[in-house]
Amino acid sequence: MIDFWIILTASLVATSTAILGCFLIMRKMAMIGDAISHAVLPGIVIAYLLTDSRASFPMLVGAAASGMLVTYIIQFFNQKVKLQQDASIGISYTFLFAVGIILISVFSNDVDLDQECVLYGEIAYVPLDKSFIGDLYIGPRQVWILGTTLLLIATSVWLGYRKLVVTTFDPSFAAALGINVVFWQYYLMAGVSLATVVSFESVGAVLVIAFLSGPAATAFLITRDFKRMIFFAIALGISASIIGYYTAFWLQGSIAGAIATIIGLQFALVFAYTQLLRKSRIAKVLDNKALT
Amino acid sequence: MEFFTEIASFFTFSEPNVKVVFWGSLILCAISGLVGTFTLLRKRALIGDVISHSVLPGIALAFIIGQQKNPLYLIIGAAISGWISTYLVDYITKHSKIKNDTAIALILSVFFGAGVLLLTHIQHSGNAAQSGLDQFIFGRASAMNMNDVWLFTIVGSIITLLIVVFFRGLSLLSFDESYSQSIGFPNEILKLILSITTVITVAMGVQAVGVVLMSALLITPAACAKFWTNNIIHLAILAVILSGLAGVLGSAISYTYNGMPTGPWIVVVISVFAFISAFIGSKNGLAKKVLQRNQNNKKILRENTIKLFYNPDEGETLSYPFDTVFQKSNMHRNTLKKGLNMLKSEGLLKVTNGAYKPTELGVKESKAIVRKHRLWELYISRFMHLQPDHVHDDAEGIEHVITPEIERELEKELDFPTRDPHDSEIPY
């Protein structure tokens, strides 16, 4: 049963991040996702210190606040003082992440978060944190939180799908149609912050990037159809979760780390295959030319 | 009080270990400041991010193969996996439709994940020598020893020497890659030098600040220095100084308070430097920009106001009451008042009975500005073939930035004209 709950948790994380990841990588915003996932840390710690609990709602508020802060700092450096984009991202998130780690060290006695957990999560402990309705055991708490998040993200993407797609692929056309491009960008960012925060406990800050960018990138290599790309990404994410779990079991290592490794291998396989395909196609074209 | 004695004990090296921490952090941060200058200028700041996350599997594998924590092995392992990661990012971006930022995010997180997997695997394998290997994630300067410092010094000197010797080529590569290629600089070798020095710096640095924050040491010092200078030599020197200072201050703080991680403190100190520089930096700083904008606005207001008093008829200068001037202008009432007061205090206008009259100097100024305006109108109507009724708006803006040299050029180009496109006189 423990196997099942852990794989289910990982699959829930993989599904919500795969959906958002497809939009992120098409918008060339993968690194903004990276920045947000690191930068939510101080928000989470402060929320924890203020409310003295691991309740999800205050943490969510804290994380959203520091997620907003990092996008603001990036914009400040990039637009107000004209620092190049990559450096603006780099400065902002490392700063907030460092502050988060310092807060954890200062209040190490009061905070039930340790430094390693921040980076790669504690998915193995998920089944231990149980929830009940009355006396009835209804599964781990994380599964319920992640399930609700997935439902929320899937519904909001489904509702805003057309506008999200238009603003992603052709923002100037979208603007000409009278669609508020900035609003839909923040709509997506809000989704990313939400997914990052709830995935934080199970997979940590760095590995959630693997979930966001990996399956989406692999799916992008497979298909040109955006809807199909989303479904492929979800399938890849879930299969990586299952294979990753057993790999971790075999190697006696971190589950989240193993899933990230499998995501990388999936990409490597598909990438190698597309390269071979391309080469054989080029060879075929050259052969035909030689004949004529 | 205890705080000060602790700080004092840090800077007087009263404990032998402090000396190690001091020199270790100083040398590491200084080198990364130097190397980071070029990564920043080549717009590859996030590549530093990739390398620093990606050294982790190399460290873990080096430990599995060597079964001990020899710093040299670990650094070699780290450097190899760091180098592979940058190669993969470039390869994926070049050979597929995957965008650069996606490739960066993917490689960074997957390598890190593999590193975490291997590290946790080692921890469960029961090898006693592994304890402390997880320090590479957050870094612990206090875990350094004298051998590490010697290693940093030697490797650091080699890196510095390489950069000094190839400085011209590296600067050209950073600013204009295709130009450097076209005049026959060995671009590929220069790029290789840069990527090797970056990888080695990161591989050494993770010991002190850890994999996540190492990228900050590459990016932030140079970005900080960029707010103060545009000269690449000054930029590199300033980045080295700021970074070294942050290294020393950061490790002093983490030494003073027990149980504080070094890396995050160094990063916080250097980030604070960056924020301060962004506000008060003498180049590109926010304060400087605001100041400049204010000065510009003042100059424009001054010139636009004196222009109102231009009188083509030589001889007597007339005086105008405020309302006449106001009707002539299309400025806001208060703005105009501000402009008039400015001119009055500069001695370009005299006020008698509420009427404004330009002084001799004022007349000269008003002619000068009208002259620039009309010269420009003539210039663009003649050389850009614009209709006379289309040239005014452009000249309204340009008249404030024409220098005496440009004015002379315009005169020569237009063959010392006397009439503008609207057939008004160009005053001299």
Phi, psi of B155 (to 5 degrees): -60, -40
Distance of CA A16 to the CA centre of its chain: 8
For residue A25, give every residue at least 6 positions away whose Cβ sits within 8 Å of its Cβ, in sequence order, or none: A213, A216, A217, A220, B98, B99, B101, B102, B105
Bridge partner residues of A137 (DSSP): A132
For the beta carbon of residue B234, count every other beta carbon within 10 angstroms.
Answer: 13
Whether the CA torsion A192, B215, A168, B88 is positive or negative: it is: negative
CB contact at 8 A, B246 and B270: yes
CB contact under 8 A, A207 and B105: no
pLDDT for B133 equals 67
Would you list the domain boundaries of chain B?
Answer: 2-281, 285-428
Nearest to A140 by CA among A155, A156, A158, A122: A122
**Amino acid in position A36:** I
Nearest-CA distance from A39 to chain B in Å?
12
Range of the domain at A178: 2-211
Residues in chain A closer than 8 A to B222 (CB atoms)? 87
CB contact at 8 A, B80 and B189: no
The DSSP bridge pattern shows strands B320-321 and B349-352 to be unpaired
For residue B243, give every residue at least 6 positions away whose Cβ sits within 8 Å of its Cβ, in sequence order, or none: B29, B30, B32, B33, B36, B217, B220, B221, B270
pLDDT for B316 equals 63
CB contact under 8 A, B116 and A119: yes
pLDDT tens by residue, A45-80: 888 888 876 666 787 788 878 888 888 888 888 888
pLDDT tens by residue, A4-54: 888 998 999 999 999 999 999 998 888 888 888 888 888 888 888 888 766
DSSP per-residue string spanning B24-44: HHHHHHHHHHHHHHHHHHTT-
Q: Is A229 exposed, middle or buried (0-12, 13-18, 19+ CB in 10 A)?
A: buried
CB contact at 8 A, A30 and A88: no
pLDDT for B130 equals 63
Strands of the sheet with B355-358, listed across from one edge = B320-321, B355-358, B349-352
Q: How far is CA B171 from CA B40, B125, B209, B226, B227, in A?
A: 12, 48, 28, 15, 18
Q: Is B103 exposed, middle or buried (0-12, 13-18, 19+ CB in 10 A)?
A: buried
pLDDT for B348 equals 81
Q: What whole-number distance in Å separates Cα of residue B213 and Cα of residue B224?
A: 16
Is A148 within the bounds of a domain? yes
Q: Which residues 123-142 of B are in CB contact (within 8 Å) with A?
A: 124-125, 134, 137-138
pLDDT for A11 equals 92
Nearest-CA distance from A290 to chain B in Å?
25
Q: What whole-number distance in Å separates Cα of residue A61 and Cα of residue A190?
A: 11
CB contact at 8 A, B207 and B260: no
Phi, psi of A131 (to 5 degrees): -120, 155
Identify the residue among A81, A224, A243 best suited for mutation to test binding to B, counting B beta carbons within 10 A and taking the highest.
Answer: A81
Q: Which of B46, B267, B284 sits opposite A89 (nearest CB)?
A: B46
Helices (H), A112-140: 115-120
Q: Is B314 exposed, middle or buried (0-12, 13-18, 19+ CB in 10 A)?
A: exposed
Nearest-CA distance from A165 to chain B in Å?
18
Is A156 within the bounds of a domain? yes
pLDDT for B47 equals 86
The ipTM assigned to this model is 0.90
Is A269 within the bounds of a domain? no
Residues of chain B with pLDDT under 70: 1-4, 6-10, 12-14, 126-134, 140-142, 259, 313-317
pLDDT for B418 equals 81
CB contact at 8 A, B25 and B250: yes
Residues of chain A with pLDDT under 70: 53-56, 109-120, 134, 291-292
CA atoms within a 13 Å half-sphere pointing along the CA-CB vector of B267: 34
Locate tokens 């290294």: which residue?
A: B247
CB contact under 8 A, B216 and A95: yes
pLDDT tens by residue, B299-347: 888 888 888 888 776 656 677 788 888 887 788 888 888 888 888 888 8
Nearest to B92 by CA among B79, B82, B105, B81: B105
Phi, psi of B228 (to 5 degrees): -115, -25
CB contact under 8 A, A31 and B289: no
Q: Which of B43, B118, B215 sits opposite A94 (nearest CB)?
A: B215
DSSP per-residue string spanning B355-378: EEEE-HHHHHHHHHHHHHHHHHHH
* B2-281 topology per CATH: ABC transporter involved in vitamin B12 uptake, BtuC (1.10.3470)
Q: Following CA atoms B201, B202, B205, B210 in sequence, which dihedral angle do they give, to the nearest 10 degrees?
A: 180
Nearest chain B residue to A254 by CA: give it: B117
In chain A, the number of structural domains is: 1
Locate tokens 């990039």: which residue?
A: A78
* B285-428 topology per CATH: Arc Repressor Mutant, subunit A (1.10.10)
Nearest-CA distance from A31 to chain B in Å?
6
Rg (CA), chain B: 32
For the record, the structure tokens of B142 come out as: 């206090």
Is A292 within the bounds of a domain? no
For the record, the structure tokens of B9 come out as: 């004990």
Is A24 within the bounds of a domain? yes
pLDDT for A271 equals 94
For the record, the structure tokens of B346 come out as: 């500069």
Nearest-CA distance from A142 to chain B in Å?
21
CB contact at 8 A, B105 and A34: yes
Phi, psi of B349 (to 5 degrees): -130, 150
Residues in chain B closer than 8 A to A30 (CB atoms)? 99, 101-102, 104-106
pLDDT for A79 equals 82
Helices (H), B43-145: 45-66, 71-95, 100-125, 135-138
Is A265 within the bounds of a domain? no
